[in-house]
Amino acid sequence: MQTSLPSSSSSNAKPEMKEHCSHRKDCLKMIQLILDGEATDQQLARLKVNLESCQPCIEMYHLEKEVKELLTKRMEKRCCPEQLVATIKSKILRFS
């Protein structure tokens, strides 16, 4: 089973790093709640523990964070065309 040990070099002080997570789907849901700012304190505490002890959770966390940042920061934001703003304003004035 244990063919590769990633970071557990020599120190025994650190908690055992889990190579496999047996509830990835639920962990993933929890990670998304946390990144969306919708998690409870309890869920936050649970993630904190997982991020110290569960390799798959660490990787999922980084991936989810990266994908969210791609969407928030790297997508082109367009401005509404001036012409459209002008049209809307003039139509509104003719309303009532």
List contacts with another protein (CB under 8 A): 3-4, 20, 22-26, 28-29, 32-33, 36-38, 59-60, 62-68, 70-72, 74-81, 84-85, 87-88, 91-92, 95-96
Which C-beta is closer to another protein: that of 13 or that of 95?
95
- Site of tokens 């049209």: 87
Which C-beta is closer to another protein: that of 13 or that of 79?
79
Instruction: Give the side-chain half-sphere CA count within 13 A for 63.
Output: 9
